[in-house]
Amino acid sequence: DAGVIQSPRHEVTEMGQEVTLRCKPISGHDYLFWYRQTMMRGLELLIYFNNNVPIDDSGMPEDRFSAKMPNASFSTLKIQPSEPRDSAVYFCASSLSAVYEQYFGPGTRLTVT
């Protein structure tokens, strides 16, 4: 299995631009999670999906952030407009079940200048 796939691996953009991060979970996994990691705040859960349905988006910081999962093999996290404080590493993770191990993708390092 290829594991969780994320793209792009690095993204540098200017403040105000739209940013779209992509994730392909492990085939057969019913749960998909989006995290953000910074030195100050650590690893924070932004939103998670079960069977393509958003279940809890309470971690999404602002309305500028949105996430979708149109099918079982693809999810996006969009930031519009982006701000310098959004600079972080964004991880996607998937899991076979709610209480089982979460497998993390390689992450997308986002820099907003």
Partner 1 sequence: QKEVEQNSGPLSVPEGAIASLNCTYSDRGSQSFFWYRQYSGKSPELIMFIYSNGDKEDGRFTAQLNKASQYVSLLIRDSQPSDSATYLCAVNGGGGSNYKLTFGKGTLLTVNP
Q: What is the C-alpha to C-alpha distance for residues 94 and 89, in angstroms, rounded to an integer?
A: 17
Residue 28 interacting with partner 1 (CB under 8 A): no
Supply the minimum distance, in Å, between the C-beta of residue 16 and partner 1. 28
The least distance separating partner 1 from the CB of residue 43, rounded to whole angstroms, comes to 4
55 touches partner 1 (CB under 8 A): yes
- Measured CA to CA, the distance from residue 68 to residue 49 in angstroms comes to 9
Which pair of structure tokens corresponds to residue 48?
């998670």
Q: Are 45 and 104 in contact, with CB atoms under 8 Å apart?
A: no
Single out the residue of 45, 73, 74, 76 in contact with partner 1 (rule: CB under 8 A).
Answer: 45
Q: Is 31 in the site for partner 1 (CB under 8 A)?
A: yes
Bin 59: left if φ > 0, else alpha if -120 < ψ < 50, else beta.
Answer: alpha
Which residue type, as a one-letter code, is found at position 74? F
Judged by CB under 8 A, the stretch of 12-20, 71-79, 80-88, 105-113 that binds partner 1 is: 105-113
In the complex, what is the shortest distance from the CB of residue 81 to partner 1, in angstroms, rounded to a whole number? 27
Contact indicator for 10, 98 with CB cutoff of 8 Å: no
CB of 71 to partner 1, least distance (A): 21
Binding region for partner 1 (CB under 8 A): 31, 33, 41-45, 48, 50, 55-56, 91, 98-99, 101-107
